[in-house]
Amino acid sequence: AAAMSVNADLRRERAAATFQPQLLTHILDGGPERTRRRKEIEALVLNDPDFQHEDLNFLSRSQRYEQAIRKSSLMVMKLREYGIADPEEIYWFKSFVHRGRPEPLDLHLGMFLPTLLTQATPEQQDRFFMPAWNLEIIGTYAQTEMGHGTVHSINALSKNGFVYRGVPCLGRTVSYFLMQVALSVAGITVGDIGPKFGFDEMDNGYLKMDNFRIPRENMLMKYAQVEPDGTYVKPVSDKLTYGTMVFIRSLIVGDSARSLSRACTIAIRYSAVRHQSELKPGEQEPQILDYQTQQYKLFPLLATAYAFHFVGAYIKDTYHRISGDISKGDLSELPELHALTAGLKAFTSWTANAGIEECRMACGGHGYSRCSGIPDIYVTFTPSCTYEGENTVMMLQTARFLMKSYTQVTSGQQVTGMVSYLNDLSRQRIQPQHVAARTVTMRINDPTSLVEAYKSRAARLVESAAKNLQAELNHRKSKEDAWNRTSVDLVRASEAHCHYVIVKLFTDKLAEVSDAAVRAVLTDLCLLYALFGISRNAGDFLQAGILTGAQITQVNQHVKELLAVIRPNAVALVDSFDFHDVHLGSVLGRYDGNVYENMFEWAKKSPLNKTQVHESFHKHLKPMQAKL
């Protein structure tokens, strides 16, 4: 199978592209040097016989866990051997080793180490950080309880070593305790929580403690402290303890982009290879990518994947910029960052979650087979709608910030940052019932004009939620009741705000692209993203009087025209994501497009095919036929 040449359809698609995919890859990676380094690390892993393994689809859960532990342990050795220490490079390495799947040390690397860095006193860091960094202890992060989840998190537990424990404590703050877990230790009951939708590689655990004692020094005390006499010392700012959380949420936005990109790569390549039915009688069966309905399913998702990539990069940059300020004691930008990452985490993970499923569905029956790789992407990704803050709760956090900003504006203060559009509300008061008078002249081919439309929609929904909230309060409802009775409106307002931010960031990105051909194709995607969003949420734009029915008809029409414009570049646009076949893990999405031959090769390895005649014939079928 390895020697087969590239499928003729895909060759044609690639030859017809109007831009150089590798230039776009550089933009996604953050420069040609980053691309080069990423591929270097990729090659280190892929050429290493230690990291080869059987197709995970054919292994049991216990086997998958064992494989993952084996590779994680090796990975740590090799990271040290190669001297890879940059967090992003570690992330790449890890992702290639585990092919985008979760791994048992995720919680150690992703939660335990960063939390030690941010929450431990210098003395605690001396004592715990280096041993943890050297994997002399394996950490996890045990916050979620059976009865309590929100605010975070998925809960992993290694079977031995140290555990990191946060319990609700002393009112409103969460404190952090370090404790060791071993099966033999009295007072500790620990185990695996059983099979899940995905995350087979991860031993998510349960932990029961019965008067388990740890020394006072094991409470992480950089911020909150307990003195020897039991005096509790409050942290300077509650918000500080949420640093790790904000960071992890920003990673989820990037993960939304990557997971959706992988699904799009598979679905679009397969749609270029698959021929079915007829567009015109007597002609050859067309590629299914030529059907308008197929383009309508896939291209908006492709545009979304690009949009989320740029949003993820933006948040990462902002986080790094702001965390510098925080360590200098400047907390002024933290509230907006917190509000923004909460909403964008929810918005992008919901959208990507649904998008991955649409991609799978667009691959028809074969998408349902695990050989397509999309089921695995989905089950791995979908918990991100829940962990690190359940999405609805996240949206409501953003809403709280929006309501606060709105109140500031109405009381005559100016607000800054992404919510500054609310300042305009005080100038041009929006009336409770909207008439078409406010309709803007929207230039359908100009992304900046579309950003304005999204801005108006966000402003109108924020205002409407604020007014409904006020109306409930006027009905003498308690603050909490009023909030609950407005929460559906509040979520809509947050969504509109996030949607505006994403369209704006995508549009801003276009100006940074120097290559004209790449800019042209990204502009098409940006327009498609923005117009498709308007088409899908037409009611908001109509109800607020931002657009007329006739304009919406125009938008719908232009969306369909853009599908045809993007069609010749579709395969090149997913090639630009530059996923190696091994990383993609999909027979349908192979770079060479030789799908059917390899589906057959893959199926032969199915556990049910191990013997010529399945044992159930002798056990059940034969006796039945004998009796009848």
Partner 1 sequence: SVNPDLASERQTPSFCVERLTALLDGGAEQTRIRRAVVEAIESDPVFSRENQYFQTQNERYEAAVRKAVHLQKRMHEMGWAENGPEYVYIYRALSGDVAFLLHRVFMRSISVLGSDEQVAKWIPLATQHQLIGSYAQTELGHGTYLQGLETTAVFDTATQEFILNTPKISAMKWWPGDMGRSATHTVVFAQLYIHGKCYGIHPFIVQIRSLQDHSLCPGITAGDIGPKMNFEHTDNGYLLLKNVRIPRENMLSKFCEVQPDGTYVRQGSQQINYFTMTAVRISLISDEVLMPLMKACTIAIRYSAVRRQSKLKPGEQEAKILDYQTQQEKLLPQLAAAYAFHFVNDYLQELFNRGYREIQRKNFDMLPELHALSSGFKAVITQHCTAGVEICLRACGGHGYSLLSGLPSLYTKILASCIYEGENTILLLQTARFLIKCFMAASAGQPVPPSVTYLAAVKHRKCPAKNKLDFLSPDIYTEAYQHVAVRLTSSTAAKLQDLIQSGVNKHDAWNQCTVQLVQAAKAHCHYIAVKNFAETVEKLETKAGIQKIMKHLCDLFALHGIFSNTGAFLHDGYTSAAQMDMVTASYLDLLAVIRKDAVPLVDAFDFTDKSLNSALGSYDGHVYQRLYEWAQKSPTNQMSPAYERYLKPLLHNTLSKL
Annotated binding site for FAD: 144, 166
Neighbours of 265 (CB within 10 A): 27
Nearest approach, Cβ of 23 to partner 1 (angstroms)?
Answer: 32
Q: Residue 181: beta bridge partners?
A: 161
Q: Is 368 in the site for partner 1 (CB under 8 A)?
A: yes
Nearest approach, Cβ of 118 to partner 1 (angstroms)?
Answer: 21
Q: Are 301 and 359 in contact (CB under 8 A)?
A: yes
Nearest approach, Cβ of 321 to partner 1 (angstroms)?
Answer: 32
Task: State which of residues 91, 129, 591, 602 lies at the interface with partner 1 (CB under 8 A).
Answer: 602
Task: State which of residues 296, 333, 444, 565 lies at the interface with partner 1 (CB under 8 A).
Answer: 296
Stretch that binds partner 1, among 23-31, 445-453, 517-525, 610-618 (CB under 8 A): 610-618
Q: Is 2 in the site for partner 1 (CB under 8 A)?
A: no
Q: Which of 288, 257, 262 is nearest to 575 (CA)?
A: 262
Distance CA 132, CA 128 (A): 6
Q: Is 416 in the site for partner 1 (CB under 8 A)?
A: no
Q: Are 576 and 24 in contact (CB under 8 A)?
A: yes
Nearest approach, Cβ of 155 to partner 1 (angstroms)?
Answer: 8
Contact residues for 429 (Cβ-Cβ < 8 A; gap 6+): none
Q: Are 116 and 124 in contact (CB under 8 A)?
A: yes
Task: State which of residues 228, 365, 427, 428 lies at the interface with partner 1 (CB under 8 A).
Answer: 365
Task: State which of residues 20, 121, 369, 410 lies at the interface with partner 1 (CB under 8 A).
Answer: 369
Site residues (CB under 8 A) for partner 1, limited to 53-82: 57-58, 60-62, 65-66, 69-70, 72-73, 76
| Residue labelled with tokens 């916050």 | 143
Nearest approach, Cβ of 293 to partner 1 (angstroms)?
Answer: 5
Task: State which of residues 333, 357, 515, 592 lies at the interface with partner 1 (CB under 8 A).
Answer: 357
Distance CA 339, CA 402 (A): 8
3-state secondary structure of 571: helix
Site residues (CB under 8 A) for partner 1, limited to 553-592: 553, 556, 560
Which residue lies nearer to partner 1 by CB, 231 or 612? 612
Task: State which of residues 85, 185, 488, 582 lies at the interface with partner 1 (CB under 8 A).
Answer: 488
Token pair recorded at residue 258: 């990557």
Token pair recorded at residue 163: 């555990």
Residues at the binding site are 144, 166
Q: Is 238 in the site for partner 1 (CB under 8 A)?
A: no
Q: Is 614 in the site for partner 1 (CB under 8 A)?
A: yes
Distance CA 74, CA 50 (A): 8
Looking at residue 430, the DSSP 8-state letter turns out to be P
Task: State which of residues 408, 449, 487, 554 lies at the interface with partner 1 (CB under 8 A).
Answer: 487
Site residues (CB under 8 A) for partner 1, limited to 130-169: 131, 134-138, 144, 146-150, 154-155, 158-161
Q: Is 467 in the site for partner 1 (CB under 8 A)?
A: no
Q: Is 110 in the site for partner 1 (CB under 8 A)?
A: no
3-state secondary structure of 177: strand
Nearest approach, Cβ of 214 to partner 1 (angstroms)?
Answer: 13
Q: Are 452 and 503 in contact (CB under 8 A)?
A: no
Q: Which residue in the list 42, 336, 388, 452 is annotated as catalytic?
A: 388
The answer, yes or no, to whether the previous bond of 151 is cis (omega within 30 of 0) is yes
Q: Is 545 in the site for partner 1 (CB under 8 A)?
A: yes
Q: Is 52 in the site for partner 1 (CB under 8 A)?
A: no
Contact residues for 285 (Cβ-Cβ < 8 A; gap 6+): 275, 276, 277, 278
Distance CA 339, CA 476 (A): 28
First to last CA, the chain: 46
Nearest approach, Cβ of 613 to partner 1 (angstroms)?
Answer: 5
Contact residues for 485 (Cβ-Cβ < 8 A; gap 6+): 472, 477
Q: Are 560 and 532 in contact (CB under 8 A)?
A: no
Site residues (CB under 8 A) for partner 1, limited to 22-41: none
**CA 217 from chain center: how many Å?**
36
Which residue lies nearer to partner 1 by CB, 65 or 314? 65
Which residue lies nearer to partner 1 by CB, 318 or 369? 369
388 a catalytic residue: yes
Q: How far is CA 192 from CA 65, 196, 206, 572, in A?
A: 11, 11, 6, 43
| Residue labelled with tokens 């006020």 | 470
Q: Is 194 in the site for partner 1 (CB under 8 A)?
A: yes
Distance CA 196, CA 218 (A): 32
Site residues (CB under 8 A) for partner 1, limited to 512-541: 535-541
Task: State which of residues 361, 417, 420, 475 lies at the interface with partner 1 (CB under 8 A).
Answer: 361
Nearest approach, Cβ of 265 to partner 1 (angstroms)?
Answer: 19
Task: State which of residues 33, 50, 278, 330 lies at the interface with partner 1 (CB under 8 A).
Answer: 278
Task: Please state the φ and ψ torsions of residue 306, each to the nearest 5 degrees.
Answer: -65, -45
Stretch that binds partner 1, among 94-102, 298-306, 338-346, 601-609 (CB under 8 A): 601-609
The count of residues interacting with partner 1 (CB under 8 A) is 130
Positions annotated as catalytic residues are 388
